[in-house]
Structure 1
C-alpha cells in the first residue's frame, strides 16, 4: 500500500472519530432512507479528497458545509473539489449544517430523490453504474 493511500485512509479514520454534530445527525437520519443492496459510508477517501458521506453504488456524495464555507477562498476550493469529483463520475450534493437542524426532512427528501430520481419513485436496488472511462474507482486504489 502506498504512502498516499495510507495517508488518505488515516485521514478518513481520524475524521470518522471526530465527527461534528451535524455529521452525527445526518448519519443517524440516513438510516431512514432505503438503500437496498448498498449503503452510505462516512468520511470516504476519493482521490485526494475525503467525502463526508458516500453511496458508492449510486456514485452519490454528500458534503456538509459549515458557515466558513461561505468565505470566498474556501468556496473556491469547494467548487474545484466538486468539479474534480464530478469529472470522476460522482454526483455531489451539498447542504449547509443549519439545513439539517431547520429542515432534516427536506434534506432527506433531496437525498432520496438523488438516489431514485424523484420522491415518487419506489426505492429499488441500485445497479452498479460503470465509470465513464472504465477505470477502477479512485476509492479502491485506482
Structure 2
C-alpha cells in the first residue's frame, strides 16, 4: 500500500481477506495475489469508516517456447481477459512493432509475417483501463520485457 496519510491506526484487506494492520513500518504487502481486478479496503481501526479502491494486477510469462509441444507455446498478458478492448503491443529490441493482440485472444506465437523470430528478449506495452474509486475508468499503460526461447 502507498499514499496512506494521517495519524490514525489503519488496516487494510484485499477482496474478502482478513484485515491487516500497517504496523510500525507503515507498509503492507499482500502475497499470492492472482492477476486481475481486486478490491482494496482501508479503514481506521478506531471505526471512522471504510474506503474502497479497485486495483488491477497484471502478470505475464517471463519466457515462452513456441515449439508446438503444448507447453508455453504462446505468450500473452495475464489478468486482463475481462478487458477485450485492451491492447498489447510486442516489439523487437530495436523498437519494431511485431504484433498487436488482445489479452482475451490466443496470444503471440513467436512469428512476424508468418516467419519465426529468433530466440531473444522482446518488449511489450499494454494499454488498458483502470477502474477508479468513483467508478470511472482511466487509461493506463504497463511496459516490460520477456524472453522467447527456441
Larger Cα-atom Rg: 2
Q: Which TM-score band applies after superposition, normalised by the shorter structure?
A: under 0.3
Q: TM-score, normalised by structure 1?
A: 0.22
User: 1 or 2, which has the higher strand percentage?
Assistant: 2
Q: Which has the higher contact order (CA 8 A, sep 6+)?
A: 1
